Amino acid sequence: MTGFERVRLALSHREADRVPTGENQVNGKLAQEILGRTTYYSTGWEELQALWQGKRDEVVEDYGRTIVELAEVLEWDYVRVPFVPKRKEYTMPKMTGPYSWIDETGKEIRFNPDAGNILEQASFPVHITVEDLPDPDSLFEVDPSQLDALRYVVRKLKGRCFIVGRAPFDGTFPWQQTVGMEEFLVRMITDPQFVEKAIDLYVTRNIKILEAFLDAGADAVMTTDDYCDNRGPIMGVELFRKFIVPGICRQVEAVHRKGGIFIKHTDGYLWDILDDLIDCGIDAWHGIQTNIGMDLATLKLRYGNQLCFFGGVNCDTLIEGTPDQVRKEVREAIQGAARGGGLVVTTSNVLQPGVKLENYRAMREAIREYGVYPIQL
């Protein structure tokens, strides 16, 4: 049975030969340790420097190659492939510090070398109004070169692995594209017209990206805006339903019209909004943090016929725990949520900086040991 078939069966709430697995992303250092070679993939600073040195095509080709090799070496059933930098001329930007610079739009960007490939905008223009939002025509074109890594993976793995396209953002909570998180949350109360137009604008853009992924051969798409911390939705349930839910529903409908699968990544404490996500029609949910109360056995009991769960192992455990602790989490996930299909064992986010290779090896071995159908635990 292929990885593609295993994931499709899990999404259909049916049992395969074993529980499928895979990962959204692997930090560059761990990828290099696994493959025994250097790579630009998910290295953050090295990747940026290569881009500024005019090595865009080399970086993008390495992305596709590394994703394929990781899938083959680790026997993944699914892979996630990101949008990549478009083909154009890149030059060294004006640096404002060791890890900060002014980008081509005039914004100061900061890179945190301890957090992998995380980029942050130094400040946001909090005084902009609804009239200052971009012209829709300037946002809606999708550059075909940004799908180069996906096309490579499709050529190599189509039909063998389940291929997921990952948009750079999903537009339903566009604080990064506008005024910053704090100000955007305030405007949900003080300036709802601004919030509604911004969400409509960026959701429309993201739908074009999701459709482009599916047209290029992806089996599914994953959107990644987060809404919750460890207590619940940061804007509250009422504002989440008023502003965020319509945009999620629009994207799900667009993906389903194309015949694709919609996977929503959003971590945190989601009990208060899971019904809303299900009502939008999402097919699967990634970002399950069992260590903050998102118990897989309870989720399976409540939503097992409506959702496929991507998760089971906490990122913290892979970084700070032991192989035995990792194996315990895998066992509990399979025991609680694997019967009848509907489970893909993966981490709660990505394989972050600091993940120990021996822990990830223990995770893979435990999936193979405990995840054979019919489940005997």
List pLDDT tens digits, range 265-285. 999 999 999 999 999 999 999
The answer as to whether 55 is a domain residue is no
> 224 to each of 29, 71, 326, how far by Cα in Å?
23, 21, 25
Total structural domains in the chain? 1
What confidence score (pLDDT) does residue 116 get?
65
C-alpha–C-alpha distance, residues 60 and 81, integer Å: 11
| Average pLDDT of span 106-131 | 87
**Would residue 31 count as lying in a domain?**
no
Mean pLDDT of 201-206: 96
Residue 375 in any domain: the answer is no
- Determine, yes or no, domain membership for 49: no
**Percentage of residues of the chain with pLDDT beyond 70:** 99
CA distance linking residue 288 with residue 268, whole number of Å? 7
Contact between 53 and 64 (Cβ < 8 Å) = no
Question: 376 in a domain, yes or no?
Answer: no
Percent of the chain with pLDDT over 90: 93
The order of strands in the sheet holding 162-166 is 22-23, 78-82, 162-166, 220-223, 261-265, 284-288, 308-313, 343-347
Q: Distance (Å, rounded) from C-alpha 18 to C-alpha 112?
A: 39
CA-wise closest residue to 368 among 17, 4, 8, 2: 17
Contact 87, 48 (CB under 8 A): no
* pLDDT at residue 84 greater than cutoff 70: yes
Strands (E), 200-260: 220-223
The answer to whether the beta carbons of residues 231 and 269 sit under 8 Å apart is yes
SS3 (DSSP) at 236: coil
Chain mean position to CA 170? 10
Q: What is the pTM of this model?
A: 0.97
Residue 110 counted as domain residue: no
Task: Note whether residue 67 is domain-resident.
Answer: no
**Domain of residue 252, residue span:** 3-22+131-370
Return the structure tokens found at 260: 């694709």
**Domain-embedded: residue 124:** no
What b/e string do you get for 127-136 counting C-beta neighbours within 10 Å, with b at 16 or more? eeeeeebeee
Is residue 104 within 8 Å of residue 93, measured between CB atoms?
yes
13: left (phi over 0), alpha (psi -120 to 50) or beta: left
Residue 225 confidence (pLDDT) = 95
The per-residue pLDDT of the chain, averaged, comes to: 96
First-last CA distance in the chain: 22
Q: Rounded to an integer, what distance in angstroms lies between the CA atom of residue 344 and that of residue 279? A: 21
Q: What pLDDT shows up at residue 140?
A: 79
Q: What is the CATH number of the domain that holds 365?
A: 3.20.20.210
Task: For residue range 238-274, list pLDDT tens digits in order.
Answer: 999 999 999 999 999 999 999 999 999 999 999 999 9
